[in-house]
Amino acid sequence: MRKSVKKETTHAGALVGVGGAAAAAFAVLTAKSLKPRTILSDLRLRRLIPSYPRPARKAAFRFGLLGKELAVIPAAGLISAGLLRDGRKAGAAAILSATTSAIAASHIFDAVLPQKTPPPGRKAPFDPHFPSGHALHSASLLAISAWVLTRENLADRKLIAAGAGASAFLLGVDRLIQDRHWPTDVLAGWLAAISIASFAASGYERARR
């Protein structure tokens, strides 16, 4: 029993470290987002990103919807409901807290962070776009769900980690291919998601003791 508590304490501490490091990296990227060097890097990277072929555009559009709040909230609710049904309250709370925190953070960032002109593919040039909400929402949910389901012995660790990582990556890259975000927008969304999911997972580890 003591070994189990010690291990969970170690997990919680490590997760706080990961969350803090991701938050610090996000703050640095935010501070540099309007610097000429960063803008030039975004422009160079954008030139390297291909477009979807015409036959794939409809499917790509539907895939991109998975990063929206209207998709993330029900998904988090379904996973949490399943955990609650089995009496796994800490896991359900972690998933709900990470998802709602990511959505709230996205709206706060839209209101307070500096924004540069979005790429031409974004049809609403005055809408805030840093960081990418799609990347933030989806990566937060996928990361915390993978952690909780693994720790609850409900999924194979390697399989769910690979699936969650690939899905988060593809949903972020989709924003670039569709020319809705700059690369730094997506990277910032991923960093914020890692921070939020890590802190939620740390709280989950502490609640399991």
pLDDT at residue number 8:
56
Average pLDDT of every residue of the chain: 92
CA–CA separation, 127 vs 153, rounded Å?
A: 42
Q: For the whole model, what pTM was predicted?
A: 0.92
* Single-letter amino acid code for the residue at 83: L
Query: Per residue in 33-76, pLDDT tens?
Result: 999 999 999 999 999 999 999 889 899 989 999 999 999 999 99
CB contact at 8 A, 172 and 189? yes
What pLDDT band is residue 131 in, cutting at 50, 70 and 90? very high
Does residue 133 surpass a pLDDT of 50? yes
Name the residue ranges covered by the structural domains of the chain. 2-43+59-207
The string of DSSP codes covering 138-188 is HHHHHHHHHHHHHHTTSS-HHHHHHHHHHHHHHHHHHHHHTTSS-HHHHHH
- pLDDT tens-digit readout, 78-119: 999 999 999 999 999 999 999 999 999 999 999 999 898 899
